[in-house]
């Protein structure tokens, strides 16, 4: 809860308050600890305080036990003990509910949260699809071809038609984009289909989330608690972690540079953070590190929640200024080594041994170090974390449903929209190509028929002309015979030859018969 404008998270062994400095809240943080040690409650205490100071937060709810933040806490003996222990009554403690927006990429336990294939980009999508390097390259080329042709990739339908198109035209595309193996495309296609079968397709499409919708306050100025229900999503670790990474990257790209602020613009909690780093490629790790390093200047703080701090790579761990370490158990030498490493990452407190303390912490207890005003981490303190003001645990279905339906973002995102994108374009193009092919076929057949008919007609005419010439020849023969003499025959031959040739060159049989007609007339005149 807030005290003197600061985030009061715990009391140390001497009963003195431990504050998280809002100015330093964008320097990222970590909440770690074995199962059941109090990580989720710590996260709630932090999120409630941010909301109270007007800072919206985004949380992934892996178990459903963050949902209770939309309802006030329930009083109990245990709570009363804690209220007394911390002197909370004097500090103005009351049970409170917080403005909450539930999201769910499956659209069941929250407002549907979607993005488009294009916006996700090939690097993150490759990780979700678990592609090898070659397949990732081909996916990137497919994106480029879509881009070069102004084709929008919104949903998995678009991606599949684009992959089909690239596969069918791989030879033509090779000159510009290099060799594209059909076998690799088929493998990518199989991954897309299996993602669809796991329900992952629901999360690609429009209306895509506008990241700025997370940054809301209620009428009392409290920051919105955006909860991504991840109870189903977590079963697909890659989809879950890459989706959160995508949201982080979107925040990084969308939000303006603001430098150091009095308090963050948004705080992002990344639960089950080990899923992000497990098996991440070098390219992905570089992207993660870059986002974490640079996002703080956009006023966004990122808090990783995980069972063991060794789950977080050193380069990332070094970026985390505010650390809450709940109890760890160490039964094996490897586990003891991990606890030692965790302990050594704190600024030592001369009054206790950090490693021993971590092993002995009870539920709701933690060793804590935060960044001071000067940007230097405080000496580690053994602490008891405050209780939350909102309800611990889950909510029933009816409460959730009313929270979802009454949210102002519900009408914006509830129904999917299938825009005119790559799938529709390529479908139309396919139909047009089919139509054009059919027309070309019909034209060719008509041409063949016309030619055959012209040939037939010409043959008939030739036959008719031949017939006419024969009957005329008979008549001439009788005339020349009656005129008599060799001279007449010679003239007839010469003139007839010339005109006959002329007629033939004029155009075949008709010309020839025309020549013969003139010859006959000449003789007649002579
Ligand atoms: N600060 C606290 N104030 C009051 N109760 C607490 C506190 N921390 C922990 N508890 C109690 O301990 C229980 C377990 O805590 P929590 O759910 O936060 O553990 P966790 O570390 O998130 O466990 P898991 O890893 O299983 O998610 C809570 O339900 C609550 O009853
Ligand atoms: Mg938990």
What is the distance in A from the centroid of ligand 1 to the CA of 388? 10
Confidence of residue 429 (pLDDT cuts 50, 70, 90): confident
Same structural domain for residues 42 and 166? Answer: no
**pLDDT at 503 > cutoff 60:** no
Q: With residue 45 as reference, give the H or E element that holds it.
A: helix 39-52
Q: What is the mean pLDDT of residues 281-309?
A: 92
Q: How many CB atoms lie within 10 A of CB 304?
A: 27
**pLDDT at 194 > cutoff 80:** yes
Q: Which of 398, 413, 428 is the last residue of a domain?
A: 413
Same structural domain for residues 348 and 461? Answer: no
Same structural domain for residues 465 and 511? Answer: yes
Handedness of CA 57, 61, 66, 71 (dihedral sign): positive
Which pLDDT does position 512 carry in this prediction?
A: 39
pTM (whole model) above 0.85: no
Q: How many CB atoms lie within 10 A of CB 324?
A: 28
**pLDDT at 303 > cutoff 50:** yes
Q: In the 3-class helix/strand/coil scheme, how is 151-211 assigned residue by residue?
A: CCCCCHHHHHHHHHHHHHCHHHHHHHHCCCCHHHHHHHHHHHHHHHHCCHHHHECECCCCH
In a domain, 424, yes or no: no
Q: What is the mean pLDDT of residues 60-70?
A: 95
- Any idea which of 200-209, 271-280, 490-499 has the lowest mean pLDDT? 490-499
Q: Does residue 207 have a cis peptide bond before it, meaning omega lies within 30 degrees of 0? A: yes
Which pLDDT does position 521 carry in this prediction?
A: 40
pLDDT per residue over 366-418, tens digit each?
A: 999 999 989 999 999 999 999 999 999 999 999 999 999 999 999 999 999 98
In a domain, 29, yes or no: yes
Taking CA atoms, 16 is separated from 76, 86, 468, in Å, by 24, 9, 129
What is the distance in A from the centroid of ligand 1 to the CA of 363? 7
**pLDDT at 472 > cutoff 90:** no
What is the distance in A from the centroid of ligand 1 to the CA of 314? 27
Alpha carbons 423 and 159: distance in angstroms, whole number: 8
Taking CA atoms, 153 is separated from 20, 53, 122, 508, in Å, by 43, 39, 11, 63
Alpha carbons 105 and 494: distance in angstroms, whole number: 98
Residues with a beta carbon under 5 angstroms from ion ligand 2: 39-40
Q: What is the mean pLDDT of residues 16-28?
A: 96
Same structural domain for residues 309 and 391? Answer: yes
What is the distance in A from the centroid of ligand 1 to the CA of 345? 24
Our answer on whether the CB atom of 387 is closer than 6 Å to any ligand 1 atom is yes
Same structural domain for residues 168 and 152? Answer: yes
Query: What does the DSSP assignment read for 430-454?
Result: HHHHHHHHHHHHHHHHHHHHHHHHH
Same structural domain for residues 232 and 378? Answer: yes
Give the ligand with the smallest distance to the CA of 306: 1
In a domain, 399, yes or no: yes
Alpha carbons 124 and 141: distance in angstroms, whole number: 14
Our answer on whether the CB atom of 36 is closer than 6 Å to any ligand 1 atom is yes
Q: Which of 413, 447, 466 is the last residue of a domain?
A: 413
Q: Which of 198, 225, 242 is the last residue of a domain?
A: 198
- Residue span of the structural domain in which 506 resides: 436-525
**pLDDT at 524 > cutoff 70:** no
pLDDT per residue over 133-157, tens digit each?
A: 999 999 999 999 999 999 999 999 9
pLDDT per residue over 473-492, tens digit each?
A: 766 555 444 444 444 444 44
Which pLDDT does position 469 carry in this prediction?
A: 84
Which residue is closest in CA terms to ligand 1's atom 23? 36
Our answer on whether the CB atom of 362 is closer than 6 Å to any ligand 1 atom is no
In a domain, 239, yes or no: yes
Nearest ligand 1 atom to the CA of 38 is 18
pLDDT per residue over 66-119, tens digit each?
A: 999 999 999 999 999 999 999 999 999 999 999 999 999 999 999 999 999 999
**pLDDT at 517 > cutoff 60:** no
Same structural domain for residues 362 and 328? Answer: yes
Same structural domain for residues 126 and 107? Answer: no
Same structural domain for residues 325 and 453? Answer: no
How many domains does the chain fold into? 3
């Amino acid at each position: 809860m807030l005290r003197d404008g600061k985030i009061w998270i715990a009391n140390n062994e001497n009963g003195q308050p431990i504050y998280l400095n809002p100015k330093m809240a964008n320097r990222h943080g970590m909440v770690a600890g074995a199962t059941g040690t109090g990580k989720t409650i710590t996260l709630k205490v932090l999120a409630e305080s941010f909301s109270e100071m007007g800072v919206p937060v985004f949380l992934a709810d892996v178990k459903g036990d963050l949902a209770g933040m939309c309802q006030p806490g329930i009083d109990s003996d245990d709570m009363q003990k804690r209220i007394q222990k911390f002197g909370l009554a004097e500090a103005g403690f009351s049970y409170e509910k917080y403005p909450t927006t539930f999201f769910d990429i499956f659209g069941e336990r929250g407002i549907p949260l979607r993005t488009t294939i294009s916006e996700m980009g090939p690097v993150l999508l490759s990780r979700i699809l678990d592609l090898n390097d070659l397949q990732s390259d081909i996916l990137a080329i497919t994106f480029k071809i879509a881009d070069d042709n102004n084709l929008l990739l919104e949903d998995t339908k678009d991606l599949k038609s684009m992959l089909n198109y690239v596969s069918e035209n791989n030879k033509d595309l090779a000159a510009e984009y290099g060799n594209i193996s059909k076998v690799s495309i088929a493998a990518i296609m199989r991954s897309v289909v299996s993602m669809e079968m796991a329900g992952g397709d629901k999360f690609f499409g429009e209306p895509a989330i506008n990241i700025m919708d997370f940054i809301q306050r209620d009428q009392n100025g409290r920051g919105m608690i955006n909860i991504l229900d991840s109870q189903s999503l977590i079963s697909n670790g890659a989809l879950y972690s890459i989706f959160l990474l995508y949201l982080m990257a979107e925040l990084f790209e969308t939000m303006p540079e603001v430098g150091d602020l009095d308090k963050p613009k948004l705080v992002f909690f990344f639960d089950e953070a080990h899923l992000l780093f497990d098996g991440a490629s070098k390219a992905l790790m570089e992207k993660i590190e870059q986002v974490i390093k640079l996002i703080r200047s956009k006023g966004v703080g990122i808090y990783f929640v995980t069972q063991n701090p060794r789950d977080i790579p050193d380069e990332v761990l070094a970026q985390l200024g505010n650390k809450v370490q709940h109890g760890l158990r160490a039964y094996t030498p490897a586990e003891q080594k991990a606890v030692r490493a965790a302990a050594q990452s704190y600024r030592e407190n001369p009054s206790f041994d950090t490693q021993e303390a971590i092993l002995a912490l009870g539920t709701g207890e933690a060793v804590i170090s935060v960044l001071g005003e000067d940007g230097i981490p405080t000496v580690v303190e053994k602490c008891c974390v405050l209780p939350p003001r909102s309800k611990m645990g889950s909510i029933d279905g009816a409460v959730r449903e009313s929270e979802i339906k009454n949210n102002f973002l519900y009408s914006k995102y509830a129904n999917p929209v299938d825009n005119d994108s790559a799938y529709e374009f390529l479908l139309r193009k396919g139909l047009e190509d089919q139509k054009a092919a059919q027309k070309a076929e019909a034209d060719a057949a008509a041409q063949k028929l016309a030619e055959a008919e012209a040939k037939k007609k010409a043959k008939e005419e030739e036959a008719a002309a031949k017939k006419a010439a024969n009957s005329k020849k008979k008549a001439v023969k009788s005339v020349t015979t009656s005129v008599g003499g060799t001279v007449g025959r010679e003239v007839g031959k010469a003139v007839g030859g010339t005109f006959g040739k002329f007629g033939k060159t004029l155009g075949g049989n008709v010309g020839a018969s025309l020549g013969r007609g003139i010859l006959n007339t000449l003789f007649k005149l002579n």
